[in-house]
Amino acid sequence: MNAPANIAPSRRLFLKTGLALGGGLFIGAGLTDAASADDAPAALSAYVRIAPDGIVTIASRNPEIGQGIKTSLPMLIAEELDVDWKDVRIEQARVDTKVFGFQYAGGSTAMAQNYDHMRQVGAAGRAMLIAAAAAKWGVPASECSTAAGVVLHKASGKRASYGTLATAAAALPTPDFAAVALKDPKTFKIVGQRVGGIDNASIVTGKPLYGIDVVVPGMVYAVFEKCPVFGGKVVSANVDEVKAQRGVKGVYIIKGGPALDGLLDGVAIVADSWWRADKARKSLKVVWDEGPTAAQSSKGFAEQAAALSKQPATLPVRKDGDAKAALANAAHVIEAEYSYPFIAHAPLEPQNCTADVRSDKVEIWAPTQMPAPGLSLVAKTLGVPEANVTVHMVRCGGGFGRRLLNDYMVEAAAISKAAGAPVKLLWNRADDMHHDFYRPGGFHYLKGGLDASGKLVAFHDHFVSFGANNEAVKFVSSGGMTGTEFPSRVVDNYLIEASLIPCGIPTGALRAPQSNALSFVLQSFIDELAHAGGKDPVEFRRQLLGAPRVLGTPQTDPFDTGRMHGVLDLVVEKSGWGEAKLPVGTGMGVAFYYSHRGYFAEVVQASVAASGAIKVDKVWVAGDIGRQIVNMSGAENQVQGAVLDGLAEALGQEITFANGRAQESNFDRFRLLRMPQACPVEVHFLRSDNPTTGLGEPALPPVAPALCNAIFAVTGKRVRRLPIDVAQLKSV
């Protein structure tokens, strides 16, 4: 999921210390003076409180959306602080950009951007505690060591707990982050272990954690009816009739603006319970000015794409060599048309927010991936200073990129202002399906040229996507394609060009944006090329990768063929590719992808019945995300979840539009993966001497093409459109 990556490394990241309540030590990675652009502050921070009894409370700075960051970031601090994990308590940090920098969840960036700094926070705290003990005992700090929350002086046998040293340590000078000694990873006791999520017990016992659980004094409940056509305006509504319904406190026509990610026109119903508000909504009759998007539809998009595919492309993406000439001279040319649909994020917890607007003060409790931009949006829309808006981060019941937008937050604030009371706004499932920022669909018209030996000598993709109607923005959000998608830079004659369809439907990042769709197209077509050239799909990919080398530069999305070779070889080994004797009606497919700095290769074993019904038997995954896995339990969970998520997208997820409206309303037609469909996912990590990167997204892209390639291995039929239509796989 894409998010702003404007977190610059600090030049002088330092610790601010002070006495916390109860006489404990308060340690935080703070911000330097930002007066000079050359002295840019770090956008990373963490707080540590040490109580007299030795209990260490660590604040986790980023939103928790199920990716496990609330546990793994504090693990880094606790490791370097050298405390026993059983003595650690974790709390969600407040939203405060002046102290914490930019806090967000997206793009699988949290570990890459926080790994070194969180370790430094812990190491600096440990150094301060050692210094306090050394001063107390009159010994050199170099003679002291730590272990499990205790400072030790081996020569004298003296020892002191962190709790007894905390107050004295807080008064000492802050150590230089660049100078603090970090542990040798070989000595790690917490990092690299299997640590259960800090909220796991609360989740399985149903304790309040999520935005939907928030209750504040005097709170009323709201639903918000928006135009079913995106961006439509309210003309009139039967406000008085609805207001007469039992339990209804008020009905308000809310006027919004044109921005689809801000406050839009709608009718809010406020009641003493959500059920009464939702029931009253059934009697609501609104006359809408639907606007121009009412003319758009999935059928129309497909017709426009077919027409554009026969015309010259209008937007160049990348051109290496002369693909058209090479195709004309190729021994064998393979052509194929691929497409994929719009899909919704569909988090189990629908969008919700609790807001309390009092005069020019605003307090908000929101499950958001972007709390600070949400705060700014509310302040701007309501016309209050940002300093007067407080946002509390609460755990998100899934995000997948949907909660990078904060439309539901500003809706709750606007309704609270109108009602003059604290309001909990809760969308129902249809709201969530009908007012998403969808993963955009796309159409690809591909040609691949092979020489007489089966080598790929030319590659051409005419990509038909969706575009905003202005010159400044080409593709809609998450609807683009860069020139670095494999097999870019390994084929001498490579041409990517695009044509755009105007689109008024809101789009946005969904887990592994762009990669989640492009992987299906590119890795499936590469499989087609392999078979057309008489090559084993694994060997064909190995030949394409060539010798281990880095393609591109740090500024141009570098691709390390050696790292991809490594994960491909590992997954081949673990899956028994080419060696296992499979039952009749069962096949294996392979795919790899580089996404969000992670290298992943996957093999899917699947069975296809005569009826066309698909059963995924098992998925093997090999991933390279650098030299360190912080939380092995969380890492495996992320990979397994990504794989199952990707299978669900391939097997049954599609949003269609007619008259500018989303047609799917619930999980009966937009299908999440059912429990019987959840197959074993075997995860293997290949450690490489590279910086640690994130895991929320890069394991997802390879699974859909690997599944479709397995289906071809069984049936001889190519899946070129998602979701998979089992009717086309029937053999009887």
Predicted local distance difference test score (pLDDT) of residue 25: 55
Task: Evaluate if residue 290 carries a pLDDT over 50.
Answer: yes
* 34 pLDDT above the threshold of 70: no
Which pLDDT score, from 0 to 100, does residue 31 have? 30
Strand segments (E) across 609-728: 614-624, 657-658, 661-662, 681-685
Does position 137 have pLDDT exceeding 80, yes or no?
yes
% pLDDT > 70, the chain: 93
Summarize pLDDT for 345-355 with one digit per residue, the tens.
Answer: 999 999 999 99
Tens-place pLDDT, residues 593-619: 999 999 999 999 999 999 999 999 999
Bridge partners, residue 234, by sequence: 288
Distance CA 658, CA 710 (A): 33
Separation CA 430–CA 729 (nearest Å): 31
Q: Does domain 299-342+439-729 bear CATH number 3.20.10.10?
A: no
Half-sphere exposure for 596 (CA within 13 Å, toward CB): 32
Mean pLDDT of 487-501: 97
User: Residue 176 — very low, low, confident or very high, per pLDDT cuts 50/70/90?
Assistant: confident
User: Rounded CA gap, 310 and 500, in Å?
Assistant: 13
Q: What is the pLDDT of residues 408-433, one digit of tens each?
A: 999 999 999 999 999 999 999 999 99
CA distances to 199, 361, 396, 410, 417 from 364, in Å: 22, 10, 14, 10, 12
pLDDT at position 319 over 80: yes
Please check the confidence at residue 266 and state whether its pLDDT lies above 80.
yes
Confidence tier at 14 by pLDDT (50, 70, 90): very low
Query: H/E/C letters for each residue in 512-539?
Result: CCCHHHHHHHHHHHHHHHHHHCCCCHHH
The two tokens of residue 17 are 């210390």
Examine domains 15-203 and 211-290+351-426 and report if their fold is the same.
yes
Q: Which two tokens stand for residue 312?
A: 């010259």
Whether the predicted pLDDT of 434 surpasses 60: yes
pLDDT band for 483, please (50, 70, 90 cuts): very high
**Range from 46-55, 56-65, 86-95, 369-378 carrying the lowest mean pLDDT:** 46-55
Confidence band of 174 (pLDDT split at 50, 70, 90): confident
Q: Token digits for 329? A: 């001279």
The pLDDT value recorded for residue 36 is 36
Q: Which CATH number fits domain 15-203: 3.30.390.50, 3.30.365.10, 3.30.70.270, 1.10.3720.10?
A: 3.30.365.10
Rounded average pLDDT over 268-282: 98
* Whole-number average pLDDT of the chain: 92
- In the three-class reduction of DSSP (H, G, I as helix; E, B as strand; rest coil), residue 208 is classed as coil
Q: Which of 564, 681, 571 is nearest to 625 (CA)?
A: 564
- The continuous run of DSSP H or E covering 72 comes out as helix 69-81
Instruction: Tell me the per-residue pLDDT of 613-654, one tens digit each, with 9 for 90 and over.
Output: 999 999 999 999 999 999 999 999 999 999 999 999 999 999
Please say if the pLDDT value at position 24 is more than 70.
Answer: no
Q: Which residues of 502-529 are buried (b: 16+ CB within 10 A; e: fewer)?
A: ebbbbbbbbbbbbbbbbbbbbbbbbbbb
169-178, 397-406, 490-499, 579-588: least confident range = 169-178
Backbone φ and ψ of 248, nearest 5°: -75, 125
Hey, where are the domains in the chain?
15-203, 211-290+351-426, 299-342+439-729
- Checking if the pLDDT of 292 tops 60, the result is yes
pLDDT digits (tens, 9 = 90+) for 543-559: 999 999 999 988 888 99
**SS3 sequence of 539-565:** HHHHHHHCCCCEECCCCCCCEEHHHHH
Please give the CATH number for the structural domain made up of 211-290+351-426.
3.30.365.10
pLDDT, position 696: 92
State mean pLDDT over 66-90.
96
| pLDDT at residue number 732 | 67
Lowest mean pLDDT among 24-28, 31-35, 110-114, 317-321: 31-35
Contact between residue 308 and residue 501 where contact means Cβ atoms under 8 Å apart:
yes
62 pLDDT more than 70: yes
Sorting pLDDT into bands at 50, 70 and 90, what band is 43?
very low
Asked if residue 149 lies in contact with residue 169, where contact means CB atoms within 8 angstroms, the answer is no
Give the per-residue pLDDT at 554.
Answer: 81
Higher pLDDT, 16 or 127: 127
Q: Which residues does residue 58 pair with via DSSP β-bridges, in sequence order?
A: 48, 90
Return the pLDDT at 20: 31
pLDDT at 472: 53
0.75 cut: is pTM over it?
A: yes
